Structure 1
Amino acid sequence: MFNRHILREFGDRAADTITRSEITRFIDGIARTAPVMARNTLGYLSAFYTWALPRLDQMPANPCRDAGRPPAPKARDRVLSEEEIGALWHVLDGEGKPFGPAIKLLLLTGQRRNEVFDADRREFDLAAKLWTIAGDRAKNGATHLVPLTPAALAIVQDLLKDKRSEKLLPARGNWDMSPSGFSKAMRRIREALEEKLGHPVPHWTLHDLRRTLATGLQRLGVRLEVTEAVLNHLSGSRSGIVGVYQRHNYFHEKRAALIAWERELKRLARLHRTKAGTMPRALAA
């Protein structure tokens, strides 16, 4: 976040010369398209100034403290319907790399957007059918073991055939970077989904796929603590004093849950076969 936003804007400035109004304009600019990112960026910049303030004699106060702060966004509750999920698989088959396979992995595994799009090759153990997300990449700082179901494994195996990059999903023409162009890709995919279904579809985001998987697991009867383990949540049944004593990682339960979810995705895909009568490639096995 510092590299992408803060250093790009203020990297050549002395910290004690940046004013409250400059920070407000900076955060407002981010908030026009990414209000959550804007609030998080302000929080990180403020934390930096809290650390720096005792070390900067010329700075009387933290300039972030009274800077404008975007309002908290409303909590989202969007979950894709069964019809939308089934049709989305067909759309993603025609999308190609990187967004087609990446979004399939999001729905198959329930992991966060950045965890998928920024993944490195070395995180995947094909023999063990395992994806390891290190703590420094996970949102909560906890190393996360993600069992790979047959469909997810097939996607990863196909992506790993291209050895030009250490990234699982490199940007086109820049093998050291993760993909960009999310807004354009999502607009294209949303429009294709509406065309496939023949009616308007309520707005949805990539993070909504994570909520869709969690809801689907609950519908399939997966225990809440296993669903939380799949998502690498340290809240609820894995938080507080319970989390101190409850050290079981639910690895085998996570694999069983994700396999059950893959079976459900196959069922939904069958309901929305293409005109040729074929099943989406990632779920054909």
Structure 2
Amino acid sequence: MANRVNLTEERIRTLQPPAKGEVVLWDADVGGFGVRCWPSGKKNYFLFYRAGSGREAPQRRLYLGECGSLRLADARTAARRYLGQIAAGGDPQAERKEIRQREAARLDVAIDAYEKHLTGRGVVNAKTIVATLRRELLKPLGKVDAQTITRQTIVDRVAKLETQKKPGAAQDLRAKATTFLNWMVNAGLLSSNPLAGWRRDRRTRAQRTAQTGRRLEPDEIKAIWRGCSNVAAPYGDYVRVLLLLGQRRKETAFMRRADVDLGAGVWTIPETSTKNGRVHRVPLPPLALAIIKRQPKFAGSPYVFAGAGGAAMTGWSKRHPKLVEACGVAFTLHDCRRTFRSGLTALHVDRDLAELMINHVGEELIETYDREPRWRERLQAAALWETYVETVIAEGGAVRELTAKAM
């Protein structure tokens, strides 16, 4: 080893950085111990050794610490301690790597890293995905080594949600956990995914018959519209806008004033808020626009349908049953979206345009090459649907079936 010197704090402090490459000073006192210096002026202590006996043993360079942050005497002491471990057959660098891998594979650390991965890729629902993993896995299991998570562990968590009559949450956990564990395999944190090959049971005929979700009938639309006047604001107007625009419930609930152009009658949902990560422009026909305009403003609140104090509207599980009771119609918020989409079909709006209206992504190749927004046609379709709703909710008017002739 060249440049073996009596290392001192002063010698290290005055060591000049090279123009390129690195400068290495080897300690004359402790074999394999030295200091490295780079053009940036950064300096650190290291220990050079062979992991094993003989010249064929792999060479290692073990980082000990930054010069200035770690005293020379402490660095020498650490080097001697590691040399003792090496003499006994140890490999400190390999042991460090193993510790880092175990740390990275700890469930809480892995979920944090997964969140950074999703955010870096621009996944719009990254926070929702991570929140599910933390609530359904990290909270009950704790900071365990992810390698100890078995298939049965996840199966039990999913089964518990199903027992609690939460089939949607159960399926959500199954999907998100599978994707998360696949990422861990790809990141080298797991050797295999314990959920690989796990498939949902095929739905039985009874389950298909009892499936939830439906299109609202005209008399139900009328009853719901009237019932919206008898519940606490802003929930009633929020549901009315769902019926008129057919957008996703969360995207509508978190509608921001900055995204609404009242003059042009356009609501632009940014890519950070949409399910598919694409900007979506929604036409606002007169009735929907009037409802949005009449919402009270709260200082500092960005939301159109703001809750108490201007915060985002919450309390869905309490608000919706009150509306159901007020209108006498058992329905879900997603039924409003189904009704809108089904209504467009009944009004002879072509399939591609109807899907565009609710921001559904089409076939991959078509989406790649066909970027025509069809804005004029979307304006016409939105106006057509709103006109129909107005005929349904009209005071004293007969409830009309949804047909092109009725329009």
Q: Which residue of 2 aligns with 1:28?
A: 159
1:198-213 aligned at under 5 Å gives the runs 201=329, 203-213=330-340
Q: 1:187 to 1:261 in 2, by over 3 A?
A: same
> In 2, are the aligned partners of 1:149 and 1:259 still within 8 Å (CA)?
yes
Aligned counterparts of 2:385 and 2:286: Cα–Cα separation in 1: 12
1:37 and 2:169 aligned: yes
Residues 27 and 69 in structure 1, CA contact (< 8 A), matched pair in contact too: no
Q: 1:119 aligns with which of 255, 258, 262?
A: 255
Q: Which has the higher contact order (CA 8 A, sep 6+)?
A: 1
Equivalent residue in structure 2 for 1:13, among 138, 143, 149: 143
**2:231 touches 2:326 (CA, 8 Å); kept in 1?**
no
Matched, 1:258 2:382: yes
Closer, same or farther: CA 157–34 of 1 in aligned 2, 3 Å: farther
Q: Which residue of 2 aligns with 1:102?
A: 238
Q: Amino acid of the residue matched to residue 22 of structure 1?
A: T
Larger relative strand fraction: 2
**Residue 215 (1) aligns with residue 345 (2):** no
In our comparison, the structure showing a higher alpha carbon Rg is 2
Q: 1:151 aligns with which of 263, 283, 287?
A: 287
What residue in structure 2 maps to residue 192 of structure 1?
Answer: 326
CA distance in 2, matches of 1:30, 1:24: 10
Corresponding position of 2:267? 131
Distance 1:19 1:133, change over 3 A: same
Deviation at 1:62, TM superposition (A): 2.0
**Partner SS state of residue 108, structure 1:** helix
Task: Return the letter of the residue paired with 2:385.
Answer: W
For 1:207-246, what aligned pairs fall within 5 Å after superposition? 207-235=334-362, 239-246=363-370
The 3-state SS of whatever aligns with 2:282 is: strand
Whether the 8 Å contact between 1:28 and 1:38 is mirrored in structure 2 is yes
* Paired position in structure 1 for 2:314: 180
The alpha-carbon distance between structure 1 residues 206 and 70, as it changes in their structure 2 partners (threshold 3 A), is: farther
Q: 1:136 to 1:28 in 2, by over 3 A?
A: farther
Is contact 2:230-2:323 (8 Å) kept?
A: no
Query: For the structure 1 residues 187 and 162, does the alpha-carbon distance in structure 2 shift closer, same or farther, using more than 3 Å as the test?
Result: same
Residues 174-231 of structure 1: per-residue CA shift (max 9 Å, x gap): x44x33322332222222222xxxxxx5x42111111111222222232222211111
Residue number in structure 2 paired with 1:63:
194
Distance, in Å, in 2 between the alignment partners of 1:213 and 1:257 is 11
Instruction: Report the secondary structure of 1:78's partner residue.
Output: coil
> Which position in structure 2 is the counterpart of 1:276?
none
Distance 2:234 2:221 in 1: 19
RMSD over aligned Cα, in angstroms? 2.7
Number of residue pairs matched by the alignment? 260
8 A contact 2:297–2:304 mirrored in 1: no
Structure in which a larger fraction of residues adopt helix? 1
3-state DSSP of counterpart to 2:308: coil
1:267 counterpart residue number? 391
TM-score for both structures, normalised by structure 2: 0.57
Rounded to whole Å, the distance in 2 between the matches of 1:166 and 1:186 is 23
Measured against aligned partners, the alpha-carbon deviations of 1:78-118 in whole angstroms (never above 9, x if no partner) come to: 11111111121110122232311111111110101111112
Residues 99-108 or 239-248, more deviating: 239-248
Is 1:80 the counterpart of 2:216? The answer is: yes
8 Å CA contact 2:253–2:305 kept in 1: the answer is yes
- Report if the CA contact (8 A) 2:230-2:326 is conserved: no
1:146–1:229 CA distance, 2 compared to 1 (3 A): same
**Higher mean displacement: 261-270 or 118-127:** 118-127
Alignment CA distance shift 1:181-1:67 (3 Å): farther
Counterpart CA distance in 2 for 1:272 and 1:42 is 49
Where structure 2 has 5 or more consecutive residues not aligned to the other structure, the ranges are 1-127, 398-407
Kept in 1: contact 2:269–2:280 (CA 8 A) = yes
Please say if residues 24 and 69 of structure 1, whose CA atoms lie closer than 8 Å, have aligned partners that are also in contact.
no
Please report how far the alpha carbon of residue 48 of structure 1 lies from its aligned counterpart in structure 2 after TM superposition: 1.3
Asked if 2 retains the 8 angstrom alpha-carbon contact of 1:23 and 1:67, the reply is: no
Identical residues among aligned pairs (%): 30
**Alpha-carbon deviations, 1:134-190, whole Å to 9, x = none?**
2232222221100111111122222262334123333435x44x3332233222222
Distance change >3 Å, CA 66–CA 125, structure 1 → 2: same
Assess if the C-alpha contact under 8 Å between 1:92 and 1:101 holds in 2.
yes
